[in-house]
Each structure stands twice: as C-alpha cells, then as structure tokens.
Structure 1
Amino acid sequence: MLNGLRRVELGCRDLERSQAFYEGLLGFSPTGPVRDGRLTVGRGTVLLDLLEVGAGGNQGGWRNEDLQGGIRHLGFKVGAVDAEISRLEAAGVTVLSQPADVLGDVRIAFFLDPDGARLEFIQGNLSYQRIGSAALAEAEARQVPDAQPRFDHVAVTVSDLDAALAFWRDRFGFAVIGDIRHHGDPRGFLMTYLQAGDAVLEVFSFDGPVEPNDLSAAGRGVLGPRRLELLVDGAPGGQHLVAPDGVPVLLGGQR
C-alpha cells in the first residue's frame, strides 16, 4: 500500500446490523474476528473499522450540511450507479438523492448506512477544471470499476484551504490531483482532490465562513465516521493528531 489513508473508523449502534450492511449489501469482507466491540472490513487496502458505541450513540453534532467543518461523507466507486441504488432501495436502504450527472463528468447518488452515515456511489472518473498532477489525473482516468463497490474517497469540509493543504499535502505528501469550482454556487464552492495513498481526500472549501464541528472532543459515543487512520513511512504508529476543523487522525501501523 502507498502511504496515505489506511482506515476510517465508524461508530455504530448495533455491530451485527452494520456488519450485515457493509458485508451483505456493499460486499466488504472482514479482516479478522470481532474484538472489543470492533470489526474491521474492507475491499482492497482502505479499511472500515466498525466500532459499536451502543444504543445511546449520536451524530456528535454532525449535520447534513456541507458548510459544517469536518468529515462529510465516504465515497465508493461503482460501475453502474443506477443499478446499485435500485438494489439498495429494494433492500430498504434510505436513499438521499437519486442518481444524477454532476459537474466533473461523473454520475453520483447519496444514501445512508443504518446509523445515518452519509455515503456516496460514484460512476466514472472525474474531469478536473484545473490539474495539479497530470500523472495522477491520467492514472485515475485509466481506472476500471470493480464488480462491487470499492472505497474511493473521504470528503472533508475545511474553513481554511491553505491550512488544510499545509496539513495534508505538505506534512503527509498527499499530492493535489486537481480541483473543480462550482461557478454558479453563491457560496464560492471549491472541491480540491488529493491523492491519499490508494484513496482520495476530497476537500470542500467555501469563500464564506464554515461552521465549526470538533469531532476530536466528541467522545466515544459518536456514530458515523469518527477518525481517519493514516499510514506514513517513518512515523511512529499510535500518534493521535487533530487535523484542521477537528478531524481526529491516528498515525498507524498494524493494530
């Protein structure tokens, strides 16, 4: 695996229910047994760490509003988003938005996991308005979708793009692939894409203010994406950091 995003920790109320969702509906496989209320599943090199936080779990102040700082959603690449969404709807999954063609020449749809985590299916490879790395953009354009959903990206909203780039790009070497600006959006919405190992970090920034949301102070009972784990050459494992806008980060090796 390339240095970069290794694992995303997600809080859930009922571990068996979440396991059935991510394994049965999204095709992820467990990497080992359940230990201390935690199960790791994955397809490829980026893993999902499902942590049971109990019936009292809550969203930790998270709102379905991209102007709120911190982790926004997880994205998965698929070959046919319409068919995948129809399959999820038939299984009773809550679909937030039906498949639609959007800026960047991709087709997307959003849905929720059993505890309200916001997830995205993406069909196709992005066309960037400005390219930061031609080699990375060309490598992405050559990607072929898997038969089942494959982990693609984590989206985060930041209040200061320069500070975010100083953390993710300058500190950890996540190169900018390119960016896309929504020119018709009065909020001044810019999406910047960084290569995070075998995954992508999708950074949302806006010309106006962003609402703070500090996951690092929210405690164990938070549902949905709670923490990102990075694999970084030469960095001691077990270090706990806080990225801009309160995103908890663990520098890891093997748990």
Structure 2
Amino acid sequence: MTAGLHHLGVRVAELERAVAFYRELGAEPLAREFTLDPAAAALAMNTDREVRVALLGFPDGSGIELFEFGEPAPQWCAPPEPAARLPHLGIRVDDVDAALARAEAAGGQRLWNRPKQWGPVRVVYLRDPDGTVLELLDAPLRAVADVVAP
C-alpha cells in the first residue's frame, strides 16, 4: 500500500490573499480557482452558500486546498474547541530564513523571535494571514525523528 500526505484543507477569509501567501512558501496553483455555486456547494460541501476554492501543490506532490466560504460559513467548519484543533501545518522549505522573510512580507506573523536549530533541522513557527499556525522546516520529518529518538 502507498500512503502519504495528499493535501490539507484550510478555511481562509480572502482566497487571493491566501493563494499569494502560500505561493511565497513554494506552493503553485494546480488549476484555476473555481467557485461552487450554492447548489453544487450543497452537494459537495454540505452548505447552501457559495464556496470559492483554490488547489495548490508543493514540489513533493502534496498540496493545500483553500476554501473561502460565503457567510455564514457552515456549522461543520466553525472553529473547533481549542483541544480539537490541529496544532500546526509543517511545510518543508529549502531555506527557512528566506521563506520566513517572504511569508512575513506576504502577511504572515512570526510566533518565534527567530528560527532555531534543532540538530540538523532549522525551524520556525508563524501564523498565516488567517491565523493557521505553520512550521517551516528545512529537512524531512525523518531528520526530526532522528533528533528526538535516534
């Protein structure tokens, strides 16, 4: 069986801003942005509101699916209790410092005062313009695992 991260879906307030932000972190549009009208959204997303969608891919084949919901957003995608939240999305980049600078210029907000070195891995946490917490790393997850449990 082959398994791997396919994509992560993220709710955003402004689709164009979110696309521009994730492009600064190496994601590229896989298709033109599209809109699900209320009838299609009712079938696909269980909402009677218009939904705008962008599909972005990273060089490793994984991706991010950005959703801008018409208001009010469906109840099922309301912010969950903090204990149920996904703590962060990890994105592998070639250069953490350069990616952080691009992310901040595109509206991101750093959560750590500076990137840190964790064994062979350089890492920093930040928020995207919609508040999603991101972790930028310059090495694969295996390198992190080797640091915590060699």
- For residue 121 of structure 1, report the CA deviation from its aligned partner: 0.6
Asked if 1 retains the 8 angstrom alpha-carbon contact of 2:107 and 2:128, the reply is: no
Who is 1:115 aligned against?
130
Aligned partners of 2:28 and 2:96: how far apart in 1? 21
| Residue number in structure 2 paired with 1:11 | 11
Show the counterpart of 2:49: none
Following TM superposition, by how much is the alpha carbon of 1:55 offset from its aligned partner in structure 2, in angstroms? 5.8
Per the alignment, residue 42 of structure 2 pairs with: none
Determine if contact 2:107/2:129 at 8 Å carries over to the other structure: no
Aligned-partner residue type, residue 49 of structure 1: E
Look up the match of 1:51: 67
Change (3 A) 1:116 1:128: same
TM-score by length of 1: 0.43
Aligned mates of 1:56, 1:115 — CA distance in 2: 17
From the superposition, tell whether residues 120 and 62 of structure 1 become closer, same or farther in structure 2 (CA, over 3 Å).
Answer: farther
Question: Does the CA contact (< 8 Å) of 2:25 and 2:99 recur in 1?
Answer: no
Structure ranking higher on relative contact order (CA contacts 8 Å, 6+ apart): 1
- Between Structure 1 and Structure 2, how many residues are aligned? 125
SS at match of 1:21: helix
Task: Measure how far apart 1:129 and its partner are.
Answer: 4.2
Encode CA deviations 1:49-105: one digit per residue, 9 max, x unaligned. 111124656861354xxxx34411111112321232233334442111120123x54
* Counterpart residue number, 1:168: none
Aligned counterpart, 1:236: none
Q: Amino acid of the residue matched to residue 77 of structure 1?
A: R
How far is the alpha carbon of 1:4 from its aligned partner? 2.9
CA contact (8 A) 2:9 2:65 kept: yes
Determine the structure 2 residue equivalent to 1:202.
none
Equivalence for 1:21:
21
Root-mean-square deviation (CA, aligned residues, Å) is 2.6
Give the secondary-structure state (helix, strand or coil) at the position aligned to 2:18.
helix
Q: For structure 2, which runs of at least 5 residues remain unmatched after alignment? A: 37-51
Q: Which runs of 4+ in 1 moved over 4 A?
A: 55-59
Given that 2:21 and 2:107 are in contact with CA atoms closer than 8 Å, whether structure 1 keeps it comes out as no
Show the 5 A alignment for 1:142-221: none
Q: What is the rounded CA distance, in whole Å, between the counterparts of 2:78 and 2:134 in structure 1?
A: 15
Sequence identity (%)? 31
Distance in 1 (alpha carbons) for counterparts of 2:104 and 2:63: 25
CA shift in 2, pair 1:4/1:91, >3 Å: closer
- Deviation track 1:123-176 (CA, whole Å, cap 9, x = no partner) reads 233224436xxxxxxxxxxxxxxxxxxxxxxxxxxxxxxxxxxxxxxxxxxxxx
**Matching residue of 2:29:** 30
| TM-score of the pair, normalised by structure 2 | 0.69
Paired position in structure 2 for 1:206: none
In structure 1, the residue corresponding to 2:5 is in which secondary structure? strand
Residues in 1 aligned to 2:88 and 2:57: alpha-carbon distance in whole angstroms: 17
**1:27, distance to aligned residue in structure 2 (A):** 2.6
The answer as to whether partners of 1:14 and 1:54 remain within 8 angstroms in 2 is no
CA distance in 2, matches of 1:53, 1:3: 30
Matches within 5 A, 1:77-116: 77-97=92-112, 98-102=114-118, 105-116=120-131
